[in-house]
A and B are shown apart, each in its own frame.
Chain A
Amino acid sequence: MQIQTLDGGFATPPVDAAHAFRAIMTAMAQPGTIVTLAGAVPPAPVSVAAGVALLTLCDPETPLFLGAAQDNPGFRDWITFHCGAPFVTAGLAHFAYGTWDALPLDGFALGSSEYPDRSATLIVELPELTNSGAVLRGPGIKDQAHLSLPDVAMFQRNAALFPRGLDFIFTCGDRLAALPRSTRVG
């Protein structure tokens, strides 16, 4: 175990996690809103925002899938020490982390009609995250919002599955935005 495995967690977990969750909740409640996170320093090249989101939401109760490009022993050790989330294949995962190309989008749980909440939340690392590009409409959005999504057709298919479907959290540096299944992408 490397010494940096032990570093980079929340300094005051209850307070840091509370601030982080409020930001993540705001992003999920208002798709297209970009929030800024701080408090955790995961091993490079994992972004601060992704590290904070993982520490805030994941624990031993949430099986985690890591995209192939992001799956390395150093990062696994960091997750294990700070979150304790077990590593699983895509189909069993409650959460997943990776770059857009590294995540097998067809392989995740979508929830059932009776329990649509039993679906995966994907934390996707993007090279850029801005309020431009795809048009978003739906709950949480007053008229319309814009977000630089890595794809459009895939999110339209995902929204068509409502109330089943995947929820997405996008991270880039210390910035984070979210796209729940309820958002209609045009």
Chain B
Amino acid sequence: MKAGIVLFPGINRERDMVIALERAAGQPPRMVWHTETDLSGLDVLVLPGGFSYGDYLRCGAMAAQSPVMGAVREHAARGGYVLGVCNGFQILTEAGLLPGALLRNAGLRFISADCHLRVERADTAFTSHFQRGSVFRAPMAHGDGNYFADSETLDRLEGENLVAFRYVSPKGEVTPEANRNGSARSIAGVYSPNLRVLGLMPHPEDLVDPLMGGEDGRPLFTSLMAA
């Protein structure tokens, strides 16, 4: 699997993503600048976290209009894999590649803390190295991670089994305390209907090394690189 990391001005977690992908794949990803339009040869496109264009407009709204996003859409339409994390997830929702939107955190403050995520299905290209229902830790670091969609959309996501991860307690229970940003139905990540596009708010790429406190996030990248 050949991965490319899509860079918009203001993206700042690309180095973390390079480390995670390189550890999983044994080869460095290609860096793709926001003005590029030829993404041939890439199997996975990763939109990392940050503050694209400062997020001075709605988070991700400016980046969603970039030239490269046309190529990202074509890649997704061809059935290519796309992973968006944090700002990357926000960009994917703004671009219409994933449903819903990310609102300000319920407490109206930035949250940088570990959260626990429950793997809602382990039969996708992103989660095959996890156990279904297992819980893993991941740092979150965002001010706008409060997942929102209308109730029909949420019902459809649940009905079609497109919820990827939920914020849960360390024991795997859905509780209000575990859902610190106030996301609808504790949703931390969602899939596209073909399960090829995944967006999530927390940062599994920052927990892939025992030195940094654990390798909880590693299976996501090894799954994807082995897909």
Whether chain B is bound by chain A comes out as no
Residues of B within 8 A of A (CB): none
